[in-house]
Homo-oligomer: A and B are copies of this chain.
Amino acid sequence: MIVVMKPYASQEHVDAVVKLIESRGLTPHLSAGKEVTIIGVIGDKSRLEGQNLEVFPDVDKIVQVTESYKLTNRKFHPEPSVIHAGSAVIGPDTLTIMAGPCAIESREQLLTIARAVKAAGATMLRGGAYKPRTSPYSFQGLEEEGLKYMKEAGEETGLATICEVISAESINAAVKYVDMIQIGTRNMQNFNLLREAGQSGLPVMLKRGMAATIDEWLNAAEYIVAEGNPNVVLCERGIRTFETATRNTLDISAVPVLKARTHLPVIIDPSHASGVRAYVSPLAKAAVACGADGLMIEVHNNPACALSDGPQSLTFDQFETLTKELKSYAALSKRAF
């Protein structure tokens, strides 16, 4: 941590900061420039908790030099993690394709889609049983009934399964039926839910909050890992910007940034990022070329009648065409698919 003093700060005010640092058993290092004095703080900065150096007289700003996430930080865990979820393996040597409907609408719908995405090469089945919807008057999901269909579809096809959870209750249900749980973008900083997901024993896919910085996202992942659950996968699904041509703006740079900062695998969701079916395939290819460990893609048997997010869902034919193309891209990045 570095304390930057204001230009021409008084000696008395510099001394007050130095004294506080020393009083906590830390070592201050002064660098007195012509205009500005800076004070480096050496030692365990958690000893300064509850001390707001920003409000000391003549303090200009505080610069943090180390990240607050530790367990998810690649600096302290250089090898990339490999996460197992049912039959699926998510990590540097594989390309994981999660596919399925946005919302589970019925047993028949889910089984039909599961068979189709399996045939096209998907490795995991996605499908929402608990839907967080912007308006209270929209379809909210089949809940536990939907999870039962997921279990059946997974067993029949051999696909691993993943479902979004939105509460302790839904986590308790999910544990009985699916291989992996997902925390959605609106809950990325629902810290209670993160802790409960950490305690669930299931691998967790954590979607990025739509206005979360990458560092806030890694801190959210840290909540899960800190509960003793190292099986976390990150999913970039677009951030909110001023551009309205797409529903969100896919932050594709998050892939190399995350590869530098964390050992956790990274999945890209081009369906939610763009909100437009025609853009899903180009973005999926970009994601693989860029180093993503997998994709989450919405596929529906009848997008014109989907109860949720139909406009961004691929048809079976479109999904099959995409997976064929992806094989070449997976080969270029030396990933099994």
Provide the residues of chain B in CB contact with A133, threshold 8 Å. Answer: 191
**Contact partner, A216, options B134, B219, B241, B307, Cβ 8 Å:** B134
Chain A interface size range: 35 or more
Provide the residues of chain B in CB contact with A282, threshold 8 Å. Answer: 255-256, 289-291
Would A40 and B35 count as touching, CB distance under 8 A? no
Q: Mark A179-214, 1 if CB is under 8 A from B, else 0.
A: 000000011011110000000000000000111011
Would A304 and B51 count as touching, CB distance under 8 A? yes
A292: min CB distance to chain B, Å:
9
| A234 interface residue (CB < 8 Å to B) | no
Give CA–CA (A286, B253) in the complex, Å.
10
Residue of B nearest to A71 (CB): B136
| A36 interface residue (CB < 8 Å to B) | yes
Provide the residues of chain B in CB contact with A75, threshold 8 Å. Answer: 6-7
Contacts of A286-317 to chain B: CB distance below 8 A: 286-291, 303-307, 310-311
Interface of A is mostly: mixed
Provide the residues of chain B in CB contact with A215, threshold 8 Å. Answer: 245
A99: min CB distance to chain B, Å:
18
A116: min CB distance to chain B, Å:
17
Would A283 and B290 count as touching, CB distance under 8 A? yes
Give CA–CA (A285, B41) in the complex, Å.
38
A282: min CB distance to chain B, Å:
4
* New A-B pairs, 16, CB < 8 Å, besides A136-B219, A240-B242: A6-B75, A7-B75, A29-B31, A31-B31, A55-B277, A56-B304, A209-B211, A214-B243, A243-B251, A249-B251, A249-B253, A256-B278, A256-B283, A289-B290, A328-B332, A332-B332
Which A residues lie at the B interface, using CB under 8 A?
2, 4, 6-7, 29-36, 38, 40-44, 46, 49-56, 60, 63, 65-66, 68-69, 75-76, 132-139, 166-167, 186-187, 189-192, 209-211, 213-216, 219-220, 222-223, 226, 239-246, 249-257, 260-261, 273-274, 277-279, 282-283, 285-291, 303-307, 310-311, 325, 328-329, 332
- Closest 7 A-B residue pairs measured CB to CB? A211-B211, A31-B40, A52-B310, A29-B31, A289-B289, A186-B189, A286-B286
